[in-house]
Structure formats: C-alpha cells, structure tokens
Chains A and B, each alone.
Chain A
Amino acid sequence: MADWRDIGHKTIDALLAPLENLKLSPNRVSWLSVVISIFVYFSLQKSLLLIGILLLLFVLFLDALDGFLARKKKVESFKGLVVDTSCDRLSEFIIFFPSKLWIMLAIINVYVTLGRLKNKNIFIIPLRHIFLILLVIGFVIGFEKISFLMW
C-alpha cells in the first residue's frame, strides 16, 4: 500500500512541479478546497452540471496541491495530515448533500480516515473522485440514466 502511495506522490509531484514556488501554505490550500466545495454544492443544486464538474476538478486539484506543497516546503507533519483529511471529509459532506447514499459513504469515510490516521496502511475511499467520474458519465449520457446512483 505504501508503495502505491509513493508512486502516486511522485506522479503528482512531477505534474505539479511548475507550482513549486507558490506562496501559499498547504493548510490554506486545504481551507480553500472546503470553500470551493461549497460552490460545487451550489452548482450541483442548481443543475449547473458542467460548472459543478469543473469546480469539483478544481477541488481535487487543490487536494493534490496541498500535499505537494507540504512535501516541497518540507513541512509535512501529522497535524498537516489531520488538516488535510478533515478538509477532505467536510468537502465530501457538502458536495454529496442531499444524496443519502453518498452522505452515508462520507460518514464511513470519516471513520476510515480515523483508522488511516492511526495506521498508515489503511486506504481512504476516494469518494469525490468516484463521484466526479459519475458526474462526467451523467453529463455525457444523461443524468437520469445514473440517477439511481445518486439516491
């Protein structure tokens, strides 16, 4: 599991390398991802699917960016991990509302995160990534065809 995480980090580091000198703290980036998630929620509630998808992409970009900046500035810490993961969980709650299924998955992810914070080998479910893929599929083939997955 740790090897896959290392591969993931190296891939992200390579892709985000041009942003290495960004003058933002990783915690501020995490904070921003929660704020932008609120706008994802607004977009999806108003059925502005494309805007919602783009904003969700931006949220996931910020989620990768905070870890990247922490590694590059050598400020990785357990506290930073707590900030990052708690931002991710909150982001999930607001994005997934009012879907009962996805809210419940987000609740499960809170406890999975707790496990991860105690044991690095536990894998956090990438719910927002899966949700994004479903939104894109819905945008392409029609949202009504996948509405059963959004209960």
Chain B
Amino acid sequence: MDIISHIIFACILNFGSLNGWLILGSVLPDFDKFITYRKKQFKGYRSRTLFAELPFTSILIFLSVFINPSFTLGLISHYILDFISGETRPFYPFLKNVVDFNLKLKQKILVGVIIWLIGGILVIRQLMLS
C-alpha cells in the first residue's frame, strides 16, 4: 500500500488523531523501498526487505515499546495493512514462503477506498471538534 494509506490507516487505529511518532511508525518499514527501488524490485513481495517482515519488524516493535506507544501502533498498523492487502513474506529471511490472499484488484481498491473514507470522516470530525 502507498504511504498515505498507511498514515491514514494508522490514524484510524489511533481513533482519528495523528502525531509525529505515529506517522514515523507507519512509514518507517517502507524505507526499504529506497533500497529496492535502486534494484528495480519495488513491486510485490520482492520489494520487501528484512525490516519489512515479521521477524525484524518484531525487533523494531520491541524497541518502540520503550520509545512511544504511537510509534508501536504505527509499526503494527503498517504491517497489518501490507499483510491484508498485498503480498508479504511473513517469516523472511528465515522462511521464504509468500503470503498472498489473492485479493482481486476491485477488492484491493475497495479496501483502499474504505480506508480513505473512514480516515476522511475522522479527520473532518477532529477538525470540527477542535
């Protein structure tokens, strides 16, 4: 999923509020895109490097627990969104099995639309309350 969708999904899980740590946690695992972009492997499961999968993301989550809870939530939200909407290799590099729920394009678009819709409603609600 794209970075904006990750931020919106993290915002949804945080009940509509955003902060720097949440945004950082929700986009940090995608820093591997810089590496895979250079290798021209930035699509599908081949774009996913060490820190984008469970074993090493777990280490990041462990460290984040001592930093800021929003950072932890951002990291968890990032992986969940990638997992339910695309291809991942959950136990890479120890196991190379790919997990893909074979969502059709329409279903993936629907997931994205729902996330943006809910996110938009929450943002408007926050603006109205503040």
Contacts and interface: CB of A to CB of B under 8 A. Distances in A.
Interface of A: 27-28, 31, 34-35, 38, 41, 45, 78-79, 82-83, 86-87, 89-90, 93-94, 97-98, 100, 103-104, 107, 110-111, 113-114, 117-118
A64 B56 CA distance: 28
A35 B65 contact: no
Contacts of A45: 15
13 contacts: A31-B84, A34-B84, A35-B84, A79-B97, A90-B54, A90-B79, A90-B83, A93-B76, A98-B69, A107-B59, A110-B58, A111-B58, A113-B91
Give chain B's interface secondary structure class.
Answer: helix
Interface of B: 13, 15, 54-55, 58-59, 61-62, 65, 69, 72-73, 76, 79-80, 83-84, 88, 90-91, 94-95, 97, 99, 101-102
Nearest to B15: A45
B55 A114 contact: yes
